Chain A
Amino acid sequence: MRENILEVKNLKAYYKILKGQVKAVDDLTFNIKKGEILGLAGESGCGKSTLASTLISRKPPLHHISGEVKLNGKEIMQIPEEDFKPMRLKNISLIPQYALDAFSPTKKIKTFIIDLVQEHGIKPDREFFDKVKERLYLVNLDPSVLERYSIELSGGMKQRVIMVISTILNPDFIIADEITSALDVSSQRFVATMLANLRDEGIIGSAMFITHDLSILYQIAERIMIMYAGCFIEIGPTEEIVKNPRHPYTKALIASLPQVGIQYQDKKLSGIKGTPPQLLNIGEGCRFRYRCQYADKQCEISPVRERINEGHYISCWRWKELGSDNNA
């Protein structure tokens, strides 16, 4: 048994606004093992980015409601900001979604890095930049990028610079939020593979890879967790989630993915009708029930998390009777 780097138990994080509470992360339980890449997939508004913000910084209107999060065995939801700040970048780090736009067009990449690390109390001395250059080499970038402006770099190059900065202190755990989404397919492959390489070389400990694209997770994640409308749906080993999904939502999601080799004339894929519910003041019950063809009376009560087999958990009342399609 590997040890856990992150343990999340019954985590609830809501946005408190005038009209009430937006229940963006509602009762989430999972853990990430040391050295593991966990993939987190879901559609827009499912709470995956909120989960990232909850783990790394809770700024109003986002509030931690209940539940605990342990990083390396240490509870981090309750500790004051001044104690948590030194942990960022070192113990827990985030590669944010819109990082590509974060560079100021009027500053050199080097100036941007200096500003950023000073904010975290690191001295940008020669030794530091030697390390940066070494890492740039690792991601196939020439150290001369430091002297360039952000507009001179392509999206993929910028994403690589961001990854070098976010991992410069060898964080134990890193959250990668949609880091491949804005990139071309060729850069996507490079950046995703790079994250796995950084892990293999021990530069980062573990990672949570957030994306809407299951086919990328299939490439690099060991386990995949699926979320829907702020709730936990299913978690399990990658191969099992993809080839033998058990939750009606996971099944539908995977069935909607086009693959090379499938043409419209041969096999018509089906989507999911309807849209996810509004999370503002949402009540009891399975949140997928409005779009689920198997929903019945029972589903008006929130389902409990159940174990299917080792490492495979699900949150659905009817998973046993529905069985597995084994559609692979």
Chain B
Amino acid sequence: MPKNNENMMSVKGLTKVFKSGVFKPQYTVAVKDVSFDIKPGTILSLIGESGSGKTTIGKLILKLLKPTAGQIYYKNKDVAQINDKKEVKEYYKKVQGIFQDPFATFNPLYRVDRIFEIIFSSFGYDQTNKEERIHKVLNDVNLNPGRILGKFPHQLSGGQLQRLLIARALLMDVDVLIADELISMLDASTRIGVLNLLVDLCKENGMSVLFITHDLNLGYYISDYTLIMYKGRLVEKGDTKKVYQNPIHPYTKMLFNSVPDIGRRWDKEEEFLPEQVVDDVRKFYATNQGRGIEEIEEEHSVLFSLK
């Protein structure tokens, strides 16, 4: 249920270069010239393999890292300009992240209730009906408040902790949720529950989600839009169905080709070498020289060459 057609978040030409070493610095380009928009109430999945830069993008949006170049706009406001303490807090009220390991997110010495208390004590949310509202969001994420509140993190399962963090985002009424490998530590039978919940809440509350994952099947299942990352660049992006049904970039093709899918077996005759894709991509860029990013159909664009 989009509130309006305006972008909730807009990323333009985002680049991040890491420098390591003092005397002979080495530069690693983690993210290069990435642009995309997040519309209200939509789920955007950011898919890539390890080292492709997907987590770096999440961190840049959450202001945990500073971009080397490019801009991130939140409701048309340049996020880099948000610097004073009060404004940063306001930003974090609306843009939140949930990460892979729930056990690392919670402080093991405190009861889980603390994640809600912090919202009120340090973010200055309205305290009226505090208890009631906490209970409501817990019920929304299918957790029984009586059995959850007052417990320590080690007494709960990974799925329950992730649900708690989603409940917290709900209580804060966030606009954008960065979910970085949110369900990859959960079992198959529990992760679907968390995912369904996330989509339901997103559609009901107009919350936008950037779903960072390496799992293509899950990405397809929940997202409206798909971004494919390879070596720091967005190589293909667009409407999820269009990207999956008609992949153009050799990397996207290779990725879809290697997904294990129940009911469809890998081609045994085909010689499959993951390293092969490096050559394939180079040839692809060479034959399409000068084309850059092109829209091949409505809501589906491909990186044809590096300019």
- Residue B275 at the chain A interface, CB threshold 8 Å: yes
CB distance from B20 to the nearest CB of A (A): 13
Contacts of B266 in A (CB 8 A): 189, 193, 219
A230 CB to nearest B CB, Å: 15
- A43-B188, A190-B273 are known contacts; what are 11 more A-B pairs with Cβ within 8 Å? A184-B49, A184-B274, A189-B258, A212-B187, A212-B188, A256-B188, A256-B191, A258-B220, A258-B221, A259-B261, A328-B263
How far is it, in angstroms, between the C-alpha of A264 and the C-alpha of B43 when the chains are bound?
11
Beta-carbon contact of A262 and B220 below 8 Å: yes
Q: Mark A170-203, 1 if CB is under 8 A from B, else 0.
A: 0000000000000011111110110000000000
Nearest CB in chain B to that of A228: its residue: B189
**Interface mask (B254-282 → A, CB under 8 Å = 1, otherwise 0):** 11111111110110000011110100000
Stretch at the interface among B1-9, B113-121, B192-200, B297-305: B192-200
Q: Give B43's nearest chain A residue, CB to CB.
A: A264
* B240: Cβ under 8 A from any A Cβ: yes
Q: Which residues of A contact B50 (CB under 8 A)?
A: 155, 184
Determine if B157 and A260 form an interchain contact, defined as CB atoms under 8 angstroms apart: no
A257 at the binding interface (Cβ < 8 Å): yes
Q: Given A264-B221, A270-B192, A271-B192, A190 and B265 touching (CB < 8 A)?
A: no
Of the A-B pairs whose beta carbons lie under 8 Å apart in the complex, a sample of 26, sorted by A's number, is A43-B189, A184-B214, A184-B274, A185-B260, A186-B49, A189-B258, A189-B272, A214-B262, A219-B265, A243-B263, A253-B188, A253-B189, A256-B188, A257-B188, A258-B221, A259-B261, A259-B262, A260-B259, A263-B222, A264-B196, A269-B192, A271-B188, A271-B189, A271-B196, A272-B189, A272-B190
| B207-259 with Cβ < 8 A to chain A | 214, 216-218, 220-222, 240-241, 244, 254-259
> Contact between A263 and B220 (Cβ–Cβ < 8 Å)?
yes
Min C-beta distance of B267 to chain A, whole Å: 10
Chain A residues, Cβ within 8 Å of B240: 263
If A259-B263, A275-B159 touch, does A269 touch B221 (CB 8 Å cutoff)?
yes
Q: Which of A232-273 contact B (CB under 8 A)?
A: 242-243, 252-254, 256-264, 268-273
Counting chain B CB atoms within 10 Å of each CB, the highest count among A184, A186, A189, A214 belongs to A186
Indicate if the CB atoms of A263 and B221 lie closer than 8 Å. yes
**A: number of interface residues (CB 8 Å):** 43
Say how far B92's CB is from chain A's closest CB, in angstroms.
28
> Using Cβ atoms and an 8 Å threshold, which residues of chain B touch A190?
258, 272-274
Is A118 part of the contact surface with B, judged by Cβ < 8 Å? no
Rounded to whole angstroms, the CA-CA distance of A137 and B175 in the bound complex is 52
Query: Which one of A188, A193, A271 has the greatest number of beta carbons of chain B within 10 Å?
Result: A271
Q: Give the residues in chain A near B160, CB-CB below 8 Å.
A: 275
**Is A65 in contact with chain B by the CB < 8 A criterion?**
no
Determine whether the beta carbon of B217 is less than 8 Å from that of A259. yes
Count the B residues whose beta carbon is within 8 Å of the partner chain — how many?
Answer: 42
Q: Is the CB of B187 within 8 A of A43?
A: yes
**9 closest cross-chain pairs (CB), A and B:** A271-B192, A184-B49, A272-B189, A186-B274, A43-B187, A189-B258, A271-B193, A215-B260, A258-B221
A270 to B221, CA, bound (A): 12
Contacts of A218 in B (CB 8 A): 260-263, 265
Residues of B within 8 A of A309 (CB): none
A200 to B113, CA, bound (A): 55
- Contact residues in A for B257 (Cβ distance below 8 Å): 189
Please, which residue of chain A has its CB at the minimum distance from the CB of B251?
A: A186
Contacts of A7 in B (CB 8 A): none
| A44 interface contact, C-beta 8 A | yes
Task: Encode B43-79 as 1/0 by CB contact (under 8 A) with A.
Answer: 0000001100000000000000000000000000000
Give min CB distance, B186 to chain A, whole Å: 9
Which residues of B does A touch, CB under 8 Å? 49-50, 157, 159-160, 187-193, 195-196, 199, 214, 216-218, 220-222, 240-241, 244, 254-263, 265-266, 272-275, 277
A35 at the interface (CB under 8 A from B): no
Residues of A within 8 A of B188 (CB): 43, 212-214, 253, 256-257, 271
With A259-B262, A263-B220 given, is the CB distance from A156 to B189 under 8 Å? no
Q: Which residues, 29 to 86 on A, are CB-close (under 8 Å) to B?
A: 43-44
B48 to A, closest residue via Cβ: A184
A261 to B262, CA, bound (A): 11
Does B221 lie within 8 Å of A271, measured CB to CB? no
A140 at the binding interface (Cβ < 8 Å): yes
What's the Cα separation between A218 and B188 when bound, in Å?
15
A191 and B48 alpha carbons, distance in the complex (Å): 19
State the CA gap A140–B274 with chains docked (Å).
10
Most chain A CB within a 10 A radius of its CB, from B160, B257, B258, B277: B258
Looking at the assembled complex, report how far the CB atom of A244 sits from the nearest CB atom of chain B, in whole angstroms.
Answer: 12
Residues of B within 8 A of A156 (CB): 274
Alpha-carbon gap, A264 to B189, bound state (A): 16
B221 touches A186 (CB 8 A): no
Known: A242-B262, A275-B157. A260 touches B255 (CB 8 A): no
Which residues of A are found within 8 Å of B261, using beta-carbon distances?
215, 218, 259-260
> Is A261 within 8 A of B260, CB to CB?
no
Q: How far is the CB of B250 from chain A (nearest CB, A)?
A: 12
A258, B221: Cα distance in complex, Å: 7
Contact in complex: B272, A260 (CB < 8 Å): no
A280 on the B face (CB < 8 A): no
**Chain A residues whose C-beta falls within 8 Å of the C-beta of B260 in the assembled complex:** 185, 188-189, 192, 213, 215-216, 218-219
Please give me the residue from chain B that is nearest to A249 by CB atom.
B189
User: Does B262 lie within 8 Å of A254, measured CB to CB?
Assistant: yes
Q: Complex: how many Å from CA A214 to CA B149? A: 35
Residue of A nearest to B158 (CB): A44
Q: Please, which residues of chain A bring their CB within 8 A of the CB of B196?
A: 264, 268-271
Residues of B within 8 A of A184 (CB): 49-50, 214, 274
